[in-house]
Homo-oligomer: A and B are copies of this chain.
Amino acid sequence: MNVEDGSDMLGAPRRFRGQAMIIGQRVRRPDAHDKVRGTALYVGDLPVAGALEAGVLRSPHPHARIRSLDVARARALPGVLAVLTARDVPGSNLIPLIQSDWPVLAEEYVRHVGEAVALVAAETHETLAAALRAIEVEYESLPALLDMEQALATGEIMAHWKVRRGEAGAALTRSDLVVVEGVYHTPHQEHATLEPNGVVAQPDGAGGMLLRGAFESPFSVRRAAASVLGRDLSSIRVASLVIGGGFGAKDDAASAPAAQAALLAAASGRPVRLLLSRQEEMTATSKRHPARVKVRLGATQDGHLFAAEVDILLDGGAYATLSPLVLSEAAIHACGPYRVPNVRVDAKAVRTHKVPSGVFRGSGAVQAAFAFESQVDLLAERLSLDPLELRRRNALVVGDETITGQKLSASVGLREVLDRVAEASEWTARRAVFSHDAGAVRRGIGVAASYTGIGLGPVGRHLGPSGGGASVVVASDGSVTVAVGTADAGQGEATALAQIAADALGCPLELVRVIEADTSRVPEGGPATGSRSTLVSGNAIRDAASRVRAAIEGVVGDGGLPWREAVALVSQKRAGLAAHGWAIPPEPTFDLGTGQGDAHMCYTFSACVAEVEVDTATGEVHVRRFTSGHDIGRVVNPMSAEGQVEGGVIQGLGYALLEEHVLRDGRIRNDGFSTYLLPTVLDAPEVRTVFVENPYPWGPSGAKGLADAPPVAVAPAVTAAIAHAVGVRLCELPATAERLWMALREKAGKAHG
């Protein structure tokens, strides 16, 4: 199935007798039981006979030359089965990604604190620790580049993407425009999953290897392990276990531990378990890119956006990992979900001596949205327009083009989302009431909007095959097994895909099981990144299901038999009911040189409203209510969709108000959950979720995707609400009490000065 064919996915298949509507039903997740009872088997729980404990010797320096590396003493310890350095890599030492600059093990230089220098596999934890201590490394410390502006100045540029549309520079000189400017800073963000990265590698004795772990993108892990071992892809089987939180933490970041465990297993001939500690996870694996975004935004007096110049700078850290992709998302989403006829975007990612930055829910779009939405809010203030009305006026509608010149032909529900969010948040009434707050604690309400491209986007084509596969097998009693290549990272994808399968087959939902992602079951598709699972795997399932239905109908006709009877009849005729399916999303026509073209197959449109209470004496901000609205095409399972929104909002609030890494000499110092502050359930406001259903013709049953959207516009809505409450507009995240208190003091100083 090639969705470029334009074959309409919206039409529900003819139902078997007794078949109920499935898409849109609230369905409980089958994994809920195990997770709540604590019986779910995460990689750390996985029993593996004879498994060696593995560990990584990591660089203490942000930048150094390895003068000497002596593993002889470590190797000689009894109970040590393997000690490996870059010299011992049989295949390629570079993880195959967009730029493939990321070594599995450091060679001559280390370029960030936490970089892997040597690997050990030993019989026990104690021996492992002793062996790691026994490795002798002599470093020559080198100057570290830790500031991204300085990296930009010295030309350490990983990637530079542009968007050019109309004549932004010239337009912004027009005297009839209102122009606002700002510079915005956002920090690293920790994925802070409950489960750190981990992997169990088991050689199969026949030249093959099974890798099990928490993998968001099993095929990326397979590519990395096959490449480092110098073996063919099918000799490595990668299966995703239950994942204790993804958000991008188990995407690019999972490849290195998987490749390292595979190396140790191959060298020792034994199963190997490599579990990252929380400290390793926090100091040595990729996080959200710190960013500096400059925006100049011009609008007409009647509030129509007319021109924008956006300069984005991302700190990519020491290696490119998925930075080029994240950067392209920042560029594509730089001007929000609005019509802007004149645009210049320059987005650059620079190389520093910090831990590599990587993908993180809403990659790139989050940083861009904070800057641009803050500017839109400022513009509304300058124009004395209601900020929600300003957004409504400029919202993309069907037929409009995005800043990359992509014509949106369907499923653009932003106006309706804004209207519904306004209604659910009682925007107008509360905005008016809060404006009169005058005490020490003041309330404010703010809005922000965003859109989120679904799929890998234009840089994704460098990540290998971008389709998605599915296998559908029907047993003789009508029960169904579905396999896909995208992992359920805990968001409930498996449930949504079961619904899509049941809908497409026309069978009862309770007969469908979606099993864990396993690279041996379906052809290699792209990673789960980019909210693409439901769409790509869903369409692949529909493709497979249509073949299965054709086989059934070939035997029993399309008469009104109940599903189980129809399948039984087919089984009697000795037919085997199974098919592989495949879906190819429309290929981006985006030109990375000009920044013009179709960047994503479709977009999810979002808007949110934050309601805050600010204690002007302390700078403390409490988010009291939060409304989050999304046009995600069709909602497959409202229950899990609401869960995704609620989780994304809290994650966005942590980013907006609390989360910050403390780096000293390139080392992250707050490397545990006791020092890295996260929002807890006590910090969670009441979240109201709004879904607008604006079916996407090529989505399975009209669905688009949701995962990345919820956090994107949270921070600017919060800072807008703070500005509404106390008149101070923060341009740097997180909006901590200290930072706000300082800003309030400064404002008061100015007022009195």
Contacts and interface: CB of A to CB of B under 8 A. Distances in A.
B234 A523 contact: no
Contacts of A468: 576
A233 B476 contact: yes
A575 to B, nearest CB: 7
Interface residues of A, number: 66
Interface string A267-286: 00100000000000000000
Given A45-B49, A206-B31, A473-B521, A234 B479 contact: yes
A521 B474 CA distance: 10
Contacts of A469: 473, 576, 578
A477 B49 contact: no
A206 B465 contact: no
Contacts of A474: 523
A167 interface: no
A478 B540 CA distance: 21
Contacts of A5: none
A377 interface: no
A605 to B, nearest CB: 27
A39 B48 CA distance: 13
A33 interface: yes
Contact of A574 (B33, B237, B466, B515): B466
Interface string A462-497: 001111110101111111110100000000000000
A523 B576 contact: yes
Interface string A555-592: 00000000000000001001111111010100100000
Nearest to A515: B520
Given A47-B47, A464-B476, A30 B232 contact: no
Tell which of A207, A232, A468, A579 has the most Cβ of chain B within 10 Å: A232
Nearest to A41: B49
Given A233-B475, A465-B571, A475-B233, A578 B523 contact: yes
A148 to B, nearest CB: 35
Contacts of A208: 30, 513
A671 interface: no
A204 interface: yes
A46 interface: yes
Interface string A231-261: 0111101000000000000000000000000
A234 B578 contact: no
A523 B205 CA distance: 28
A205 B34 contact: yes
A180 interface: no
Interface in A202-237: 204-208, 226, 232-235, 237
Interface in A166-210: 204-208
A511 interface: yes
Interface in A357-400: none
Given A37-B205, A473-B522, A515 B580 contact: no
Tell which of A35, A45, A464, A520 has the most Cβ of chain B within 10 Å: A520
A251 to B, nearest CB: 19
Contact of A477 (B233, B467, B481, B582): B233
B40 A205 contact: yes
A467 B574 contact: yes
A222 to B, nearest CB: 8
A659 interface: no
A336 interface: no
The 9 closest A-B pairs by CB, nearest first: A34-B205, A30-B206, A234-B479, A576-B582, A523-B576, A233-B475, A232-B479, A47-B47, A578-B580
19 contacts: A31-B206, A34-B204, A34-B206, A37-B205, A234-B477, A234-B479, A234-B481, A465-B476, A465-B571, A465-B574, A471-B471, A471-B578, A481-B520, A481-B521, A483-B521, A522-B578, A524-B571, A540-B576, A576-B580
Given A234-B479, A475-B523, 10 more contacts: A30-B206, A35-B205, A40-B205, A232-B475, A234-B473, A234-B480, A467-B574, A473-B580, A522-B578, A523-B578
